[in-house]
């Protein structure tokens, strides 16, 4: 081999070595780069998965808020209906008792309309709760008035203490005042209280003979005279219809009958208005 050829071969080998060094370093760097890219991709994928999961939760929450909002709307309509009824009952109560009840008329104003954010739904439920509380308060007032009315109904004398016809009425007769009515009845018939109250007298009372007096609420009292037997003691609570004694003709009586009196603030009134 001559010198020129040898030189050529040397140059070729050097070039080849240099080229392979460059190539291998390039390949090495590419490998690192690809590994980095792979890592980035994995991270991005995980992030996408997380976002999808969050989106699903968010959608679920949004539909839950929509559902709660429509529940609140339905409840609001019901509360408004009850509110109308409460107001009607209040007006009737005020007319009946000639009194005035306290009102909270702005109760049905709602802070939000139509929206469906969680905050608005909370506001709706809160104002609904307040409305329900207000209505409850107003109904309690109405109830206490009705309780008085019911108590009055039970306390005002009503009906006959015995069944029979009236043989002598209330008022002046033959120069003397007859302070009750005489109900014609045979001896031994049960005599019943005509209203709820407390027995204030039970025993002998001059010309009245065996007598029971019952004190009721609202200034009313009733008296049952000429009894053959008394079956209650003073202080006993009685209800309308309870047997308090038996008919007879004790005291000043020409025949068996029940002398029955109704008094308002201790003044006798015509019992026929309460029979
Ligand atoms: Zn009489």
Output the six-digit token pair for 121.
Answer: 């739904």
How far apart are alpha carbons 116 and 121 in whole angstroms?
A: 6
Helices 118-155 and 3-97, interaxial angle, to 10°?
A: 20
Q: How far is the CA of 182 from the centre of ligand 1 (A)?
A: 5
Output the six-digit token pair for 90.
Answer: 């209040």
Out of 52-66, 96-110, 233-247, the most confident range is 233-247
For the entire predicted model, the pTM comes to 0.65
User: Rounded to the nearest 5°, which phi and psi values hold at 245?
Assistant: 175, -170
Q: Is 262 helix (H, G, I), strand (E, B) or coil?
A: strand
* Longest pairwise C-alpha distance within the chain: 181
Q: How far is the CA of 258 from the centre of ligand 1 (A)?
A: 7
How far apart are alpha carbons 4 and 166 in whole angstroms?
A: 164
Q: Is the pLDDT of residue 100 over 90?
A: no
Q: How far is the CA of 58 from the centre of ligand 1 (A)?
A: 88
pLDDT in tens, 138-164: 888 888 888 888 988 999 999 999 999
Q: Give the confidence band of 107 by pLDDT, cuts at 50, 70, 90.
A: very low
Q: How far is the CA of 232 from the centre of ligand 1 (A)?
A: 21
Ion ligand 1: residue ranges with CB closer than 5 A: 182, 259
User: Rounded to the nearest 5°, which phi and psi values hold at 44?
Assistant: -60, -40
| Separation in Å, CA 135 to CA 81, 224, 233 | 11, 46, 45
Q: How far is the CA of 168 from the centre of ligand 1 (A)?
A: 7
At 44 the pLDDT is 92
Q: Which residue from 88, 89, 135, 90 is spatially nearest to 108, judged by alpha carbons? A: 135
Is residue 232 within 8 A of residue 199, CB to CB? The reply is yes
Q: Is the pLDDT of residue 90 over 90?
A: no
Q: Give the confidence band of 180 by pLDDT, cuts at 50, 70, 90.
A: very high
Output the six-digit token pair for 138.
Answer: 């107003």
How far apart are alpha carbons 88 and 150 in whole angstroms?
A: 20
User: Rounded to the nearest 5°, which phi and psi values hold at 171?
Assistant: 120, -165
């Amino acid at each position: 081999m001559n010198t020129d050829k040898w030189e050529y071969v040397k140059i070729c080998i050097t070039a080849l070595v240099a080229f392979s060094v460059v190539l291998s370093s390039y390949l090495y760097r590419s490998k690192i780069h690809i590994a980095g890219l792979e890592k980035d991709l994995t991270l991005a994928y995980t992030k996408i998965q997380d976002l999808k999961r969050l989106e699903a939760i968010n959608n679920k929450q949004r539909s839950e808020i929509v559902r709660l909002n429509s529940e609140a709307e339905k409840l609001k309509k019901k509360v408004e209906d009850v509110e109308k009824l409460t107001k009607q009952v209040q007006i009737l109560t005020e007319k009946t008792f000639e009194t005035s009840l306290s009102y909270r008329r702005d109760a049905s104003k709602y802070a939000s309309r139509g929206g469906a954010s969680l905050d608005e739904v909370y506001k709706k439920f809160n104002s609904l709760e307040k409305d329900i509380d207000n209505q409850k308060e107003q109904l309690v007032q109405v109830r206490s008035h009705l309780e008085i009315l019911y108590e009055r109904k039970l306390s005002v004398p009503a009906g006959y203490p015995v069944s029979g016809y009236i043989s002598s009425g209330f008022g002046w007769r033959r120069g003397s005042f007859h302070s009750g009515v005489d109900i014609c009845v045979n001896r031994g018939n049960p005599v019943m209280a005509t209203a709820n109250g407390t027995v204030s007298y039970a025993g002998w009372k001059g010309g009245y003979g065996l007598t029971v007096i019952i004190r009721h609420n609202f200034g009313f009292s009733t008296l049952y005279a000429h009894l053959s037997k008394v079956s209650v003691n003073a202080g006993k609570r009685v209800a309308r219809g309870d047997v308090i004694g038996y008919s007879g003709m004790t005291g000043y009586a020409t025949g068996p009958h029940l002398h029955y009196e109704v008094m308002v603030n201790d003044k006798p009134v015509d019992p026929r208005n309460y029979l």
